[in-house]
Amino acid sequence: MNIKRSYLLAGGCLVVVVLYFVVRGLMGGGHDKAEAKAPAKAELQLVRADVVPETVRPYGVVLRGRTEGARTVVVRAETAGAVAATPTPEGAFVRRGQVLCRLDVDARQASLDQARANLRSEELQYQAALGLKERGFRSETQVLAAKAELDEAKAQAEQAAIVLDQVNIRAPFSGVFDNREAEVGSYLAPGQACGTLIELNPLLIVGDVSEADAARIRVGSTATASLATGGSLTGRVRFVAREAHPQTRTYRVEVAVANPNAAIRSGLSAEIQVVAGSGPAHLVPVSALVLDSAGRQGVRHVGPGNGVLFSPVRVIEETPEGVWVSGLVGPTRVITVGQSYVSEGEKVRVAAR
């Protein structure tokens, strides 16, 4: 049987192609497969890290507060009467015992004069009884009765003097007469107000702190307050509440500062920084602070072998140069560039500076 030449040529080409792929698979295919299976070596992330030294620094608790008078008292009338004079103007600085409002004397002076006259009479009668007793004309009982009447007359005179002095409504302590509520001609019953007196020296700066911060503040600790109106005051903590506010669960803190001449007013907003001990701290850029997967605030830093570590920190103080934090130990290579693109345990390349 004769086979066409073209068929033989086509069959020979097919055999050559098949042999080519068989031989290629036997000799070079395993090498290509090995190359395909070999993973490409990943390039390490490049970061910049700065060595931050450990420094001993005072710890502070910062809170928002306001100024208050050390004492605020509504001065009230002890006896009834019409207001005859208001010698102290509102806003004036007064000394203890200064008259704020004066009531009409009415018959109080006459009552005092009568009591004093009766006292003089009883004194004379007592002296006469003593003289008669020495001559044997008075018994011991009669002398004692005269002495009792004399004592009663003294008490009545003292009472009349007190009632008369009560027409003068006086300042119980030195301070500022902030608000007068009575005018000349007003009638005051016992207990009604003449006005409000505020003690502004010392001045209190008060604020509220959390449960954690309250445990760190001690009575006598130094505190500095920056006022909203400008300027600052320095004083000491005089009171830390032991019972929390029922709604806010915060504790009241009072700082006493000197306020000569009552120059600083009550009610001004202030930022208070209380020194609460000292300890190791690191100054890091604000941008270096990150959050981990658990939501904790901290910094990422480079450890041995250029591995990335994460340490939670607590901000102690914010300054223009950065933030002071606690929670790091010793000199630390804090990642300042690229910290958001690496994770804990990852190897990194540290850029040379």
Angle at 183 between CA 182 and CA 186, to 5 degrees: 80
Q: In what order do the strands lie in the sheet with 187-188?
A: 168-170, 99-103, 81-85, 187-188
CA distance linking residue 169 with residue 94, whole number of Å: 13
Give how far Cα 228 sits from Cα of 231, 241, 267, Å. 8, 25, 11
pLDDT given at position 319: 86
62-69+199-277 folds as Elongation Factor Tu (Ef-tu); domain 3 (2.40.30)
The alpha carbons of the chain give a radius of gyration, in whole angstroms, of: 46
φ, ψ dihedrals at 86, nearest 5°: -130, 80
Please give the chain's pLDDT, 353 residues, in tens.
Answer: 445 566 666 666 666 666 666 656 655 554 444 444 444 456 888 999 999 999 998 888 888 999 999 999 999 999 999 999 999 999 899 999 999 999 999 889 999 999 999 999 999 999 999 998 888 888 889 889 999 999 999 999 999 999 999 999 999 999 999 999 999 999 999 999 999 999 999 999 999 998 888 888 999 999 999 998 888 999 999 999 999 999 989 999 999 999 988 889 999 999 999 988 788 999 999 999 999 888 899 999 999 889 999 999 988 888 889 999 999 999 999 999 999 999 898 999 998 76
105-166 folds as Helix Hairpins (1.10.287)
- Do 62-69+199-277 and 46-57+280-350 have the same topology in CATH? no
pLDDT given at position 15: 65
CA dihedral sign of residues 195, 196, 201, 202? positive
CA distance linking residue 225 with residue 264, whole number of Å: 12
Q: Is 87 helix (H, G, I), strand (E, B) or coil?
A: coil
Helix (H) or strand (E) holding 22: helix 5-27
Torsion of Cα atoms, 171 then 173 then 174 then 176, to 10°: -60
CA distance linking residue 153 with residue 150, whole number of Å: 5
Taking the model in full, what pTM does it have? 0.63
- Name the CATH architecture for the domain at 46-57+280-350: Beta Barrel (2.40)
Q: What are the sequence ranges of the domains in the chain? A: 46-57+280-350, 62-69+199-277, 105-166
- Write b or e for each residue in 22-37: b if 16 or more Cβ atoms lie within 10 A of its Cβ, otherwise e: eeeeeeeeeeeeeeee
